Structure 1
Amino acid sequence: MKSSRLLTILLLLQNRGRMTAQELAEELEVSVRTVYRDVESLHAAGVPLYGDAGHRGGYRLLAGHRHRLTDLYAREAEALVLAGLPVAADELGLGGHFTDAQLKLRAALPPPLREHVDRLRTRFHIDAPGWYAEDTEAPFLPQVADAVRTGRVLAVRYRRWKEPTDVDRRLEPYGLVLKAGRWYLVAGPGPRTYRVDQILGLTVTDEEAVVPEGFDLAAHWRAAQDDFHARLHRDEALVRISPRGAARLGGAAARAVTEHGSPEPDGWIRVALPVEGPEHAHDTLLGLGTEVEVLAPGDLRERIATTVRTLAARYA
């Protein structure tokens, strides 16, 4: 809606300074002509918004002008509440600052919206880790987070899974990622990913870390996740699976059934499922019991048959 768009223009200029009509149009996904009309509306409302001509021109707010948060819409205020992760803030050593920021935000809201947000806060709770995830301590997380914020190189003692397990590394922090309750440090050279809870000791140096120009942490993480899953599921198992069995699948296997499954006359589905390897395929497919039949590869089918015969003899 237009009122929401006008508010967005104000907040963009307030946070970024001067912006051209073209930049505003791209940000708002509207035409430049629409931006011109919106600017005229803001002028008519008395907003101290100025336009500078020339190559380095653009729109800007009068110095010192600040837009209050009293124009937040209910959905926007809800999003701010649901986006809050107090546990993460506390782990990063920012728990007190997070609480202060929430108090300031609440105080800035008009009374009706403040009451609405207070009710919402009592009805949603975010618990990111999975049910069976072990609690992992990362004692050096605050220092790592501080190095990320200040852009300082870390000298760390790190424990990895292969020999030699304990190694010394010089890391240039690019950013921190919280995934399923566990913190990961993305750092150069590379960049590579390190589990923060596997850091055995560290020293924050005076050397300045250089983050590559244009590095996008979120985009890098998405690409790394895609690459991880591509390498994880290198093999396939051709199966016949019942609808009930298919409903118990998740992730890449569930997508394979939906996108590539071929229904058969008896209602079962023939599909090639991505698997991590023989051991993973054996354990996963055996767990589906009578809801699946492995057709290929032959050695996997025979391995499962052998396990089933062993179980039958044990429980006979």
Structure 2
Amino acid sequence: MRLLTLAGRRLLAALPALLIILAGLFLLLQLAPGDTVDALVAQVGGGDPTMIEELRRHYALDQSTSARLADYLWRLVHLDLGHSAIYGKPVIDVIVERLPATLLLMGSALSFAFAAGMVLGILAARRVNRWPDTLISTLGLVFYATPSFWFGLMGMFFFAVYLGWLPAGGFGTIGGGLQGWALFVDTLRHLVLPTLTLALIFLAIYLRIMRASMLEVSTLDFVRTARAKGLAEGAVVVRHVLRNALLPMVTLIGLQAGTMLGGSVVVESVFALPGLGRLAYESVMQRDLNTLLGVVFVSALLVIFINFVVDLLYAKLDPRISGEH
């Protein structure tokens, strides 16, 4: 019951943050040069003033900023994200088409970074100040200091162009007509390079946090007591050290969810993935305000949901959070 109360408080606290994010972005976009009509007119090579005026009236761009903000928030309450002027259909339809690619990319990158970072962090902590620790820490520093787009371009050149093992981009083989297992394998092959590109920086962070957390927990009194009782070293590490060392790692997942979404903009652009990150980039370039705000709205909901799950998981790992002690 206390866990449900904690979850309810977290969700209520997220609503004002979501409102501030959307309202702040809306106001910031009003300061940017150009708008949807300018982008549409540029695409057709110009237009007369009467047509431009009609378009501004059609898209309600002739109204004041406060009136448009109030109208947008009112439509948002009714889950109406508006109509995309560039794509010619409701924003929600555009987002639904792009969402699976981003979810697959984020899920695979986060899972790989967390699992590999945890394993490498444990290995480094168990061999502290020895050559495995030095090697793993050096690799982590290299991964963290190197821009993700460079990893993407080098991986594309080496594995796709030079060796020909993996596809260079896209979300699937165009015109392949694949189904079932063949479709799964084809999608997996297309996700390998983007996943590694997005995950390496986060892997470096996770392994360093895991290493430091393992070393800190290993010196606490309850761990020394467990060893003094004669427990096997494997049991001490798994049952006592690892569970407590995972707490900072779990916290980091929630904190980095938004960062990973931001990183997907670069990765999806490099590998031509039809995801939310690339959609946001295209919306900025085309000045498609409704689509951009819709992407931010869905992204914010996604980050809030991930943090909500992380809070529940954290409360299960540490009963003190929910008062179950």
Identify the TM-score tier after normalising by the shorter chain: under 0.3
Structure number, greater radius of gyration: 1
Taking structure 2 as the reference length, the TM-score comes to 0.25
More strand by share: 1
